[in-house]
Structure formats: structure tokens, C-alpha cells
Amino acid sequence: MNVRIFDEPKIDCHVHVLDPARFPYRADTHYAPTGQEMGTPAQLAQVMEAYGTQHALLVGPNSGYGLDNSCMLDTIARGDGRYKGIAVVRNDASIDELGQLKSKGVLGVAWNVTHYGVDYYRAAQPLLERLEALEMFVDIQVEHDQLVPMMPLLTGSGVRVLVDHCGRPTVDRGLDQAGFRALLELGGTRRAFVKLSGLVKFSREPAPHKDAWPFVEALIGAFGLDHCLWASDWPYLRAPARVDYGVLLKLVLALFPDASARRRLLVDTPSELLGFAS
């Protein structure tokens, strides 16, 4: 049966917006996306319309904007309820600052351990406590075994955790590597949610990245579909190979041939977790 996944409703739980013509990059940015890496709010809206994506979670990019969330917040404000956000903030951001972001549609803050390193967050427990008090998320991106030293912070608080891109394991080291075992353990807390996304960031094979499928299957087993989210990572900043939104959706169809499972992953779980209207 030819399933029209492009026409099925869906929520994309990790995208970026970059619009340097309206919101210039920081002069001290470590990386300034250009060309096809850029993704303006208008371009995002076109992609979402083309592929039947109803809502999206915008994640503040470190590239270009650093701690400046202006472009993301403007997109949320103009989005008529289509978007919510994950902001990038200082580790000492006050509860008032976080509360103001929450009032503007921000659900949590991003911790990019792959960029800043583990040591950058060692003293960030007070930030997690403030996020927990506001019922906000910490959205963490790690790779290889970086999650292992981060676990005491994450499990020692009651904060809800979003984990980006399957935890970006080292494919050649298999399912038993320390970082991936830690991620599976985090799933057992029932306070964590994992984005089944970013396979191109850790796979050693071209699309459909079949060497990454066992990791996806293990995450579904540990977290359950009520704690798994789908994301495209559009517009694919610093991707090591070409990525296409339509190919990603065909990959969802291959991994989730059952329509009810796709509905849970693409709509029901993100709607319930992130507060989007179904």
C-alpha cells in the first residue's frame, strides 16, 4: 500500500531559524551559516506546508546567534501558534529571565555539550532547579560518551530532559557503549524524552542510515513511543552529507510502517508534551 506520509499530520521537534538579513549574526560567532544552510522563517513555513508539518519546536542555534534568541522569539510571535521554542541562555540566567522567555512560548533551554564541552555545565545545577520550578525542559545535545559525566546533573534533579539526535552514539562501538547505556538508563527515569533524529550526524552509511537503525530500535524499547519525538534538524547546519526533508519522512515510514505508531510519534506524543493543539 502506498502510504502518503507527506500528507499525514506531523510535528517537527527540532528545527532552527536563521535570518541574518533581519537579525544579523553576532560579530563574535564561531560559525556563520550561509547559502543552503540558512533557513528563514518564510522558508521554514514553505517546507512545513509542502510536507504537512503542522507545528515545529524551534531550537536556538549556537551558530550565528550564540545567546541571542531574537530571531527565534520573533518567529514564535509571528507564527500564530505554530511554533514553540528552546532558548540558549547563560548558565546563571535568573528565574525572572527564564519566566519571561516562557511567557513568549519558550519551553526550555538548550545545552549543547558537543560545542561547549562537559566542564562548561559542571556548576549548572541551580539552572536546572530554576527550570524545574518553572516546569521547563533542559534540551541536551551530546555525542559519544559525553552523557556519562552529565548523568549526575540530570538524574540528581527533577527537571524534564529532551535528548537530541539519539544521543549521537559512536556507531562502530555498538549498543553497549557507555554513553548509549547511560541514555537508555535515562529513559528509565520517565522524565526524559529522546528525539529520533539526526542520524546523518552519527551514521557511517548514506541514507537511509541502516547502521543507525538498531540504536533507534533500542531507544524505542527503553523510552516507549510516549517518550519519543521525531525531528528533521532543518536546515541541517554543518551536516556531513546532503539531507532532504522528504527522504527523512520516507525513513520514518520505513522504521514505523504501522500508522498508529507513526501517529503516536509524529503527533500524539509531541502534542501532549509540548502543548501543541492536535
Give the tens place of pLDDT for each residue, 98-114. 999 999 999 999 999 99
pLDDT at 62 over 50: yes
pLDDT of residue 3: 60
User: Once rounded to an integer, what is the mean pLDDT over residues 197-214?
Assistant: 97
Backbone φ and ψ for 191, nearest 5 degrees, come out as -105, 0
Which helix or strand (DSSP H or E) is residue 181 part of?
Answer: helix 178-187
- Among 159, 85, 104, CA closest to 128: 159
pLDDT-based confidence at residue 277 (cuts at 50, 70, 90):
confident
Backbone φ and ψ for 137, nearest 5 degrees, come out as -100, 155
pLDDT of residue 1: 39
What CATH number labels 5-274?
3.20.20.140
Distance of alpha carbon 92 from alpha carbon 113, whole angstroms = 17
Mutual angle of helices 95-103 and 125-133, in 10-degree steps: 50
User: Once rounded to an integer, what is the mean pLDDT over residues 84-99?
Assistant: 98
- Among 74, 76, 66, 73, CA closest to 33: 66
Give the tens place of pLDDT for each residue, 12-42. 999 999 999 999 999 999 999 999 999 999 9
Distance of alpha carbon 77 from alpha carbon 69, whole angstroms = 12
User: Once rounded to an integer, what is the mean pLDDT over residues 157-183?
Assistant: 98
- With 0-12 / 13-18 / 19 or more C-beta atoms within 10 angstroms meaning exposed / middle / buried, residue 154 is buried
pLDDT of residue 278: 62
AA letter at 223: F
- Among 101, 55, 111, 82, CA closest to 269: 55
**Angle of CA points 157, 158, 160, to nearest 5°:** 115
- As a whole number, the mean pLDDT across the chain is 96
Q: Which residues pair with 162 in a beta bridge?
A: 139, 193
User: Once rounded to an integer, what is the mean pLDDT over residues 228-234?
Assistant: 98
pLDDT at 125 over 70: yes
CB atoms within 10 A of CB 8: 18
| pTM passes above 0.75 | yes
Give a three-class secondary structure readout of 207-263: CCCHHHHHHHHHHHHHHCHHHEEECCCCCCCCCCCCCCHHHHHHHHHHHCCCHHHHH
